[in-house]
Amino acid sequence: MLKGLDRPRAARRALFMGVLVALGAFFLVATRAQASDFKIYEGFKTLARVFYEVNLRFVEEPDHNEMVQGAVRGMLNTLDPHSSYMTVEEMNEFQQETSGSFTGVGVEISTRDQILTVVAPIEGTPAARAGMRSGDQIIAIDNKPTKDMSVTEAVKAIRGPKGSKVVFGVHRPGLDRIIPMTIIRDFIPLRSVRSEELAPGIGYIHISNFQGDTAQEVEKALKTLGSSIPLRGLVLDLRNDPGGLLDQSIRVSGLFMGQVQVVETRGRVEDQNVVYSSDQDAILALSCPIVVLVNEGSASASEIVAGALQDYGRALILGARTFGKGSVQSVVRLPDGSGLRLTTARFYTPSGRSIQTDGIAPDVEVPSLLPPNSKTLREKDLDRHLLGVNETREDKKPSREEGKGRVRSDKKDADEDDEAAEEPFLEKPLYEMTLAERLKVDKQLSQALSLLRDGKVQSHFTGLLMSARGRG
């Protein structure tokens, strides 16, 4: 039947026919199963017709694989900023990243006002060393404009072989020009946990992200810190922690509270309504006071931990309101090895507070140390973000003025502002400073240490939920 056709063309036509048959079969089954949803599935007729017309009339023979992937990406792009389609290659990279390492520049990105925007550079990575900041807008990657580029496509463009370079065009709020940044890709080991002693009997643990071995590393750190003298206080630093694996946030919470409910998920489908509890005993003495540091970059799994510790009265939360990423993404592997990252539920703290867009409000508010002209980025600022319980559709609409710089009065002012914006924010990153140097500039850390030293933090944990009233 395919005699006279070259094999690639035959394969493409076979794929084309397969797509039409699959769409038709899906439409038929769906409408038979639920006639009330007929209008929803009527759209599949349009999709099949568009596919047919493009294949028939486009000036050149289209690539059917690209058409299908484009349709799927477009479908998911209408949902929320965290749902996406991943090719086989992207699925493999995703699994590699959650296992603890990847090759790239080390930057978390999302979209704000349809512009690729830096959420935060990962501590100690090429992006951080190059001076990339939270709120920076990525206008171009290797001279290719990022307009209409999805986050998944951007990540694919940013990653590459170790030692190769990638050139960014960056717009920074407060500047009138594009900043070129050439960054050399490197192996990004996501060292999840760092720890040290802040003072005799007062420990410090920083979690940069929640990956496969995070709970194990936190347990090791707790045992090491308490090996000489029992801990009489702990600072748990979750600042700029973008999250990660849900099971690790549950296990980490259990290290401080034992076997308690940690988080609840609620979705549209019944199997997404789940209460998650820790199944292990606490490693840290329940009487040992804890101060948890959070800021605008604390998201997802780190908000789960902070919210649970706050609800039970187990820790004092200090810093700035968190990012507000309170949604669950389920990874669905497709038959060809590709996959979907699909938002399926919302997170709720043990007392029933929604994390989505609201985030976690600190018990003690201490402003974050931010660079000049910086703009904080939160979940509610992202395009198509999932509504929070205290948010309306009107709240979700972006402001037309948002993101616009102020009008310059004269050339001198502009030059002065440009120079100020490009001055080093700190002489060196916090993680490269000595403890004494950090305490001078890091007001959140220094206040946490002072509160613990002065005995002003108490653990009220009884295994019962504290009232969440007045906590925002």
The fold adopted by the segment(s) 84-99+101-189 is Pdz3 Domain (2.30.42)
pLDDT tens digits, residue range 138-190?
A: 999 999 999 888 887 898 899 888 999 999 999 988 788 899 999 999 988 66
SS3 label, residue 305:
helix
Instruction: Look up the CATH architecture of domain 193-371+425-453.
Output: Alpha-Beta Complex (3.90)
Write down the pLDDT at residue 210. 92
Cβ atoms of residues 306 and 295 within 8 Å: no
Mean pLDDT for the chain overall: 83
Q: What is the largest CA-CA distance in the chain?
A: 86
40 band by pLDDT with thresholds 50, 70 and 90: low
Residue 366 to residue 373: CA distance in whole angstroms: 19
23 band by pLDDT with thresholds 50, 70 and 90: low
Write down the pLDDT at residue 33. 46
Poorest-pLDDT segment among 47-56, 323-332, 334-343, 463-472? 463-472
Closest-CA residue to 445 (of 84, 257, 198): 198
Write down the pLDDT at residue 472. 35
414 band by pLDDT with thresholds 50, 70 and 90: very low
Write down the pLDDT at residue 399. 44
Write down the pLDDT at residue 441. 93
pLDDT tens digits, residue range 424-436?
A: 567 677 777 889 9
SS3 label, residue 93:
helix
Going by C-beta distance under 8 Å and a sequence separation of 6 or more, which residues neighbour residue 271?
Answer: none
Range among 122-126, 348-352, 414-418 rated most confident: 348-352
pLDDT tens digits, residue range 269-314?
A: 999 999 999 998 999 999 999 999 999 999 999 999 999 999 999 9
Residue 302 to residue 248: CA distance in whole angstroms: 10
Residue 340 CA: distances (Å) to CA of 143, 387, 392: 29, 21, 28
Residue 216 to residue 213: CA distance in whole angstroms: 5
Range among 240-249, 411-420, 431-440 rated most confident: 240-249
Neighbours of 151 (CB within 10 A): 18
Write down the pLDDT at residue 98. 60
Residue 313 to residue 308: CA distance in whole angstroms: 9
Sequence letter at residue 300: S
193-371+425-453 has the same fold as 84-99+101-189:
no
Write down the pLDDT at residue 51. 86
Signed CA dihedral, 366, 369, 372, 373: sign only: negative
pLDDT more than 90, % of the chain? 45
Write down the pLDDT at residue 223. 95
Write down the pLDDT at residue 343. 93
- List the chain domain ranges: 7-62, 84-99+101-189, 193-371+425-453
Per the annotation, the verdict on 311 as an active-site residue is yes
Per the annotation, the verdict on 247 as an active-site residue is no
Closest-CA residue to 106 (of 89, 119, 95): 119
Structure tokens at 48: 């099949």
Question: Cα(first)–Cα(last) distance of the chain, in Å?
Answer: 68
Of 93 and 15, the one with more pLDDT: 93
112 band by pLDDT with thresholds 50, 70 and 90: confident
From 134, 195, 278, 300, active-site residue: 300
How many alpha carbons fall within 13 Å on the CB side of residue 56? 7
From 83, 134, 136, 325, active-site residue: 325
Residue 329 to residue 85: CA distance in whole angstroms: 12
Per the annotation, the verdict on 300 as an active-site residue is yes
Write down the pLDDT at residue 415. 43
pLDDT tens digits, residue range 353-387?
A: 999 999 999 999 999 988 767 777 889 888 889 98
Write down the pLDDT at residue 349. 97
Residue 361 CA: distances (Å) to CA of 93, 126, 298, 306, 372: 34, 31, 11, 10, 24
Residue 374 to residue 40: CA distance in whole angstroms: 43
In whole angstroms, what separates CA 372 from the centre of its chain?
A: 23
Indicate if the pLDDT at residue 19 is higher than 60.
Answer: no
Rg (CA), the chain: 25
Element (H, E) at 291: strand 290-294
From 136, 237, 311, 442, active-site residue: 311
Indicate if the pLDDT at residue 113 is higher than 70.
Answer: yes
